[in-house]
Amino acid sequence: MNLFWLYLLLAKSTLTSFSGMTSLAIVRHDFVVEHHLLTDQQLTTAIAAGRLAPGPNGVYLVGIGYYLAGYPGAAVGWLALITPAFLSIPLLVWLRRHSDHPTFRRALDSVLLAAAGLSLASALPLAQDAIADWRGLLLGLAAGAILLRTKVDSFWVILGSGAVALLYSAVL
């Protein structure tokens, strides 16, 4: 795996998203669908590991880099993850000058809605891969309901779901 090419693909995903998980659509398309470098299961594993680790939501990119090129790939994933932060200062200066313009506000609202749609479009194939039977579906729906109806941190929901799945598999 060429590390520079890996950086460009990962940086493309971080530079074209507004938060860590909105880059998922681009990452899945580039690494799973188009180039067949990862499977959906590997991507799901990287996301789960990234969500369990402290730090930004996009830290799963470090796991993707590690899957593809070991420790150097993980370092490249981290560099791609922090690239937008280093570019944000000049961008924020420009945005401050133009933030009161109504056209700018409408454009920003449109981009946020598009990002939400991309996130949903990426989540559905991953959910199909992760949910193997009705028990997994029930567990996923329960976890989703907890996340939507309460203020419980996603870490605890993931940990609880894993515990329930382990308990169920140990009983059978």
Write out pLDDT tens, residues 58-102: 788 999 999 999 999 999 999 998 888 888 888 878 878 877 888
Residue 129: which pLDDT band, with cuts at 50, 70 and 90? Answer: confident
Residue 135: which pLDDT band, with cuts at 50, 70 and 90? Answer: confident
User: What are the residue ranges spanned by the domains of the chain?
Assistant: 3-130, 131-172
| Predicted confidence (pLDDT) per residue in 17-33, tens digit | 766 677 888 889 999 99
Three-state secondary structure of 99-156: CCCHHHHHHHHHHHHHHHHHHHHHHHHHHHHHCCCHHHHHHHHHHHHHHHHCCCCHHH
Q: Is the dihedral of CA 62, 169, 123, 31 positive or negative?
A: positive
Is the predicted pLDDT of residue 168 greater than 90, yes or no?
no
Is the predicted pLDDT of residue 10 greater than 90, yes or no?
yes
Can you tell me the distance from the alpha carbon of 27 to that of 30, in angstroms, rounded to the nearest whole number? Answer: 5
| Predicted confidence (pLDDT) per residue in 102-115, tens digit | 888 888 889 888 88
CA distances to 9, 11, 38, 87 from 16, rounded to whole Å, are 11, 8, 21, 12
pLDDT in the model for residue 72: 96
pLDDT in the model for residue 74: 95
